[in-house]
Chains A and B, each alone.
Chain A
């Protein structure tokens, strides 16, 4: 491919093409829809892999820039030095680029989307609508990590919101409408707060460009109270998405009700947008405030970690266990961010990618189990290793990965996040967090051993193991988890330059 090939645009537009194609396929053509359903994400994944292969690891700058004018307007900005308003031309292009921070997430997103599209293959009802919304979600997810200015980011961010709302409300379980509404309201409010902060940031700096804001904002003479307020509003807005305790209840509902393929994307990718925003915006825009508030963020992380862990320990339903486990693991992301050093940030990004993969695998398997047994309640399951050895074995693998077994991706993420936080001034919080390592083993193994080990219930004696096609996404995700766990440099090398750049601002 030549240098000028707009790779990132192709990556974002592939699902749009998918939507157009799906729109013209009659809904009775189930087989064709399914084929389109996995081919499009596969193409997007190829683009993402190509971007990874051609990424320049030396550079902290955004790369492979692609930009189209979207709109521009003239805006009066008050200039205090001459006590007058000056008109400024502000152009807002659809600007996409990738840097070390977005690259791993883009790759993870593409992979998880691809795998979840494969997981839908056994779905039957309302396929056309499903794939339409799935591709819409995919557009949002593909774009959100690549956006270079706040407006484009916000547009992609909202796309995911709309798509996930419909995917949950139409295709979910019994409580789907309630869950979808709770999701929409909480995330809508979060978006509102975020938009407000974005607008104020624009007024203060006169640009929507992320890099521009990151450069101007720390230098601008701003009322400290305003700055602090913006900081915390941004934390709240992103905390809804991450989620941070006590803004998390919507996420439990979505985990419980949405169809498994959607939860794969939700837990795997969408939660990471919050974490990404935390690094890109909170850390990127307010490097001068971070040292002051890092302990508070670490404390929030500790609450997430332990609260989610202990709650997961008593849940009667696998979905709820995994949901609380996600909450708990996002605490580790907060640890990493609050550490404010390379180790911690590295750990946070590793945890984002690793949890994305592991969570996707867990919900993929959960979907298979649910479809076969009709339940995800722990007390109604048991002994599944006898009738579905492959699925049960992979579930155990995913559980071990999730609880941080070394040589798998979860460990290297936890290790770096803890290492970072221990080397920061908040180290006592990290010491308390060590309890979380024990509790995560306890809740994961409790849930998984009770479903896969032990006596088999008579009502499940006839269920079948995974079919060959279903095995593919399991093994691909597992392979990715092992790859990152065994050879972490695969992520660390492209990340380095960008992280040093982000951290360099904190010192200065």
Chain B
């Protein structure tokens, strides 16, 4: 490893959430009010250390902390290490930063919830796992935090546990991501089988030195990608993410928009040395990414739940990041990951403020809220514009970086990505016009709406500023931030025609949806009875297929196994037992209580045994 610097900083970033998690677990409900502040403070400390780590590695160095040896025998060495490279430094800052803002926002959002301490306990667990994941140096460590992230997400989705929908969503999220995780599990074992080491660096070295067969490298890459597909909601494992919106809205902002779902992208970026050696794996990543981008965008067009629109948008944007990774540009992917974390978190926080105000997720009953909550509306509009990719917002630069990375060699992917811009603009425009402008469709809810309290507005302000400035992060003049992005490799700059094209498409989409919502022009998807609408509404019947086919098959196997148990195996044993009882009764009846008859039978048996013995001994 080049430029390794021994440092305690990596642990200092990870530890505060651990302390806060343990503290909240131990104290529990006794400290209802203080819980939020404990969690926020811990995350703030992490954020400060993460910034220090970022400045320390901006020259391209890597911080290496002392590992903890947890399991060691033979070749197996599970040592929890903590390294911070430029890539992980960016991720640490994004995670700690968004997490801190969401913690603060949640203090207001969750104030009335009786289980607020539990909420912050889970949130701390999530932050801990996410930061741990980013600094991992060992496959097992990576997997441990990877799954803990999933578990924390599962707990938070099911936080509102009384509602069957939340329960079902939590279950779905865990199972679907678990299927992906099996890929990482297998990858970890494959890596060990090939290199006899669980250290990730050893695997990279083996891959780069060409010690592994090309097929093995591709297999390793695809297994890792499977995990990323599960976590980042890529097709065909995207089904859990929209349902995950059953969790509290700040959780959606933090976990299911900004950080955890980006963990899949981070994983691929982090293990990029493996992908780099396998063009076919890269092609798979790019294709899945491009397909997911456009596929999820179409489904977002017809959703009526504001959070679900944002969820599909997240899936779509994660597709962009995967596309950039597949096209070979880690820089573009991480750049987009960063800006997306900011504007999508802002969108969710603003949406949360709206939901908090009107008490529903349904965009068809909102309307005209811009007058009631101007600050929220302003930030929502800015974030949406960033998502669509209008200059000069953050999303414009990062999206064009992604598009530019695909130009050499991926024309079909490029086309899909550009079309996605149009779709993105269309669905975001629909939400904007329906929620914030036009007439109030529910007068009662409209009248009760109000601006969110300061503790919820402040994080939105911070994120809003970031959305405005983050587009410049790759520019060298931003100091350490620019340098650290530079360390990830060259980020392609979009040519002028491409910038013009995406901007034009974005404006076209917004305008089209405006006219649609106003009824000025007939909407292609305006009629709920049309087949196309049904298809999108039913999410291409993929969820339906999973539930029926996969869930049904599992249940069928289960019933079959149980039937075998009851009828065949239990029946077999019972049959043997019955046969023994019957034969015993027969033999019993034959004796009739006559002792001499018993003895005669015994004598006969003895004689038979002796004869058999004598015959068998003949050879000896």
- B170, B189, B554, B560: the one contacting A449 at CB < 8 Å is B170
With A246-B568, A313-B557, A405-B147 given, can you name 15 additional A-B contacts, CB distance below 8 Å?
A: A249-B570, A311-B558, A312-B558, A343-B74, A343-B76, A386-B162, A415-B143, A415-B188, A437-B181, A439-B554, A441-B174, A442-B554, A449-B167, A455-B162, A492-B71
A454 and B162 contact, CB distance less than 8 A: yes
Is A198 at the interface (CB under 8 A from chain B)?
Answer: no
- Segment of A28-36, A114-122, A259-267, A417-425 in the binding face: A417-425
- B73, B162, B559: the one contacting A453 at CB < 8 Å is B162
Is B592 at the interface (CB under 8 A from chain A)?
Answer: no
- Segment of A44-52, A167-175, A223-231, A483-491 in the binding face: A483-491
A438 and B70 contact, CB distance less than 8 A: no
B161 and A400 contact, CB distance less than 8 A: no
B70: which A residues are within 8 A, CB to CB?
A: 486-489
A454 and B164 contact, CB distance less than 8 A: yes
- Which parts of B214-245 form the interface with A (CB within 8 Å)? none
A492 and B72 contact, CB distance less than 8 A: yes
Known: A307-B561, A453-B166, A454-B167. A438 touches B71 (CB 8 A): no
A496: which B residues are within 8 A, CB to CB?
A: 73
- A407, A437, A449: the one contacting B178 at CB < 8 Å is A437
A10: which B residues are within 8 A, CB to CB?
A: none
B182 and A438 contact, CB distance less than 8 A: yes
Q: Give the CA-CA distance A437 to B324 in the complex, in Å.
A: 31
B78 and A488 contact, CB distance less than 8 A: yes
A343: which B residues are within 8 A, CB to CB?
A: 74, 76
B185 and A249 contact, CB distance less than 8 A: no
Find the B residue at minimum CB distance from A440: B178
- Which parts of B439-468 form the interface with A (CB within 8 Å)? none
- Which parts of A373-432 form the interface with B (CB within 8 Å)? 383, 385-386, 400, 405-407, 411-412, 415-416, 418-419, 422-423, 431
- B151, B186, B570: the one contacting A405 at CB < 8 Å is B151
A311 and B561 contact, CB distance less than 8 A: yes
Q: Which residues of B contact A (CB under 8 A)?
A: 69-74, 76, 78, 140, 143-148, 151, 158, 161-164, 166-167, 170-171, 174-175, 178-179, 181-182, 185-186, 188-190, 192-193, 554-555, 557-562, 565, 568-570, 572-573, 577
Annotate A238-269 by CB proximity to B: 1 below 8 A, 0 otherwise: 00000000101100100000000000000000
Across the A-B interface, the 4 shortest Cβ-Cβ residue pairs:
A314-B558, A406-B144, A311-B561, A310-B557
A383: which B residues are within 8 A, CB to CB?
A: 161-162
Q: Give the CA-CA distance A454 to B162 in the complex, in Å.
A: 4
Q: Give the CA-CA distance A76 to B181 in the complex, in Å.
A: 61
Is A446 at the interface (CB under 8 A from chain B)?
Answer: yes
A412: which B residues are within 8 A, CB to CB?
A: 71
B560: which A residues are within 8 A, CB to CB?
A: 310
B158: which A residues are within 8 A, CB to CB?
A: 449, 453
B188: which A residues are within 8 A, CB to CB?
A: 415
Q: Give the CA-CA distance A343 to B569 in the complex, in Å.
A: 33
A434 and B186 contact, CB distance less than 8 A: yes
A314: which B residues are within 8 A, CB to CB?
A: 555, 558-559, 562
Known: A311-B562, A449-B167, A454-B162. A422 touches B74 (CB 8 A): no
Find the A residue at minimum CB distance from B158: A453
Find the A residue at minimum CB distance from B74: A342
Chain A to chain B contacts (Cβ below 8 Å), 10 pairs: A342-B74, A346-B73, A412-B71, A416-B76, A418-B189, A423-B192, A438-B182, A445-B174, A488-B70, A489-B70
B189: which A residues are within 8 A, CB to CB?
A: 418-419, 422
Residues of A within 8 Å of B, CB-based: how many? 55
Known: A434-B185, A488-B70. A442 touches B164 (CB 8 A): no
Find the A residue at minimum CB distance from B572: A246
- B171, B193, B565: the one contacting A249 at CB < 8 Å is B565
- A313, A415, A442: the one contacting B140 at CB < 8 Å is A415
Q: Give the CA-CA distance A216 to B265 in the complex, in Å.
A: 58
- A494 shortest CB reach to chain B, Å: 11
Q: Give the CA-CA distance A423 to B573 in the complex, in Å.
A: 37
A296: which B residues are within 8 A, CB to CB?
A: none
- B310 shortest CB reach to chain A, Å: 25
- B73, B144, B174, B557: the one contacting A411 at CB < 8 Å is B144
- A312, A415, A416, A445: the one contacting B171 at CB < 8 Å is A445
B558: which A residues are within 8 A, CB to CB?
A: 310-315
A438: which B residues are within 8 A, CB to CB?
A: 175, 178-179, 182
Known: A419-B192, A489-B69. A315 touches B562 (CB 8 A): yes
Find the B residue at minimum CB distance from A314: B558
- A456 shortest CB reach to chain B, Å: 7
B143: which A residues are within 8 A, CB to CB?
A: 406, 415
Is A14 at the interface (CB under 8 A from chain B)?
Answer: no
B554 and A313 contact, CB distance less than 8 A: yes
Known: A342-B74, A407-B144, A422-B189. A313 touches B565 (CB 8 A): no
B171 and A446 contact, CB distance less than 8 A: yes
Known: A418-B185, A437-B185. A492 touches B73 (CB 8 A): yes
Q: Give the CA-CA distance A297 to B601 in the complex, in Å.
A: 43
B573: which A residues are within 8 A, CB to CB?
A: 182, 186, 249
Q: Give the CA-CA distance A456 to B562 in the complex, in Å.
A: 29
Q: Give the CA-CA distance A185 to B574 in the complex, in Å.
A: 11
Q: Give the CA-CA distance A418 to B76 in the complex, in Å.
A: 13
B161 and A453 contact, CB distance less than 8 A: yes
Is A452 at the interface (CB under 8 A from chain B)?
Answer: yes
A312: which B residues are within 8 A, CB to CB?
A: 558
Q: Give the CA-CA distance A310 to B562 in the complex, in Å.
A: 9
A185: which B residues are within 8 A, CB to CB?
A: 577
B554 and A456 contact, CB distance less than 8 A: no
- B178, B555, B565: the one contacting A441 at CB < 8 Å is B178
- B153 shortest CB reach to chain A, Å: 13
A342: which B residues are within 8 A, CB to CB?
A: 73-74, 76
Find the A residue at minimum CB distance from B155: A396
B555: which A residues are within 8 A, CB to CB?
A: 313-314
Find the B residue at minimum CB distance from A350: B71
- B139 shortest CB reach to chain A, Å: 10
Q: Give the CA-CA distance A384 to B509 in the complex, in Å.
A: 48
Find the A residue at minimum CB distance from B139: A415
Q: Give the CA-CA distance A246 to B570 in the complex, in Å.
A: 9
- Which parts of A441-481 form the interface with B (CB within 8 Å)? 441-442, 445-446, 449-450, 452-456
B69: which A residues are within 8 A, CB to CB?
A: 489
Find the B residue at minimum CB distance from A341: B74
B565: which A residues are within 8 A, CB to CB?
A: 249, 252, 311
- B597 shortest CB reach to chain A, Å: 28
Find the A residue at minimum CB distance from B72: A489
B569 and A246 contact, CB distance less than 8 A: yes
Q: Give the CA-CA distance A419 to B146 in the complex, in Å.
A: 18
A492: which B residues are within 8 A, CB to CB?
A: 71-73
Q: Which of B161, B166, B171 has the most CB of A within 10 A?
A: B161
Q: Give the CA-CA distance A98 to B612 in the complex, in Å.
A: 46
Find the B residue at minimum CB distance from A496: B73
A385: which B residues are within 8 A, CB to CB?
A: 161
A246: which B residues are within 8 A, CB to CB?
A: 568-569, 572
Q: Give the CA-CA distance A85 to B554 in the complex, in Å.
A: 61
- A431 shortest CB reach to chain B, Å: 8
Q: Give the CA-CA distance A492 to B71 in the complex, in Å.
A: 7
A411: which B residues are within 8 A, CB to CB?
A: 144, 147
Q: Give the CA-CA distance A446 to B189 in the complex, in Å.
A: 28
A455 and B164 contact, CB distance less than 8 A: yes
Q: Which of B70, B146, B561 has the most CB of A within 10 A?
A: B561
Q: Give the CA-CA distance A456 to B74 in the complex, in Å.
A: 51
Q: Give the CA-CA distance A42 to B557 in the complex, in Å.
A: 44
Q: Give the CA-CA distance A418 to B190 in the complex, in Å.
A: 11
- A307, A445, A452: the one contacting B175 at CB < 8 Å is A445
A386: which B residues are within 8 A, CB to CB?
A: 161-162
Q: Give the CA-CA distance A442 to B154 in the complex, in Å.
A: 13
Known: A310-B557, A310-B561. A456 touches B178 (CB 8 A): no
- A185 shortest CB reach to chain B, Å: 7
Q: Give the CA-CA distance A449 to B554 in the complex, in Å.
A: 18
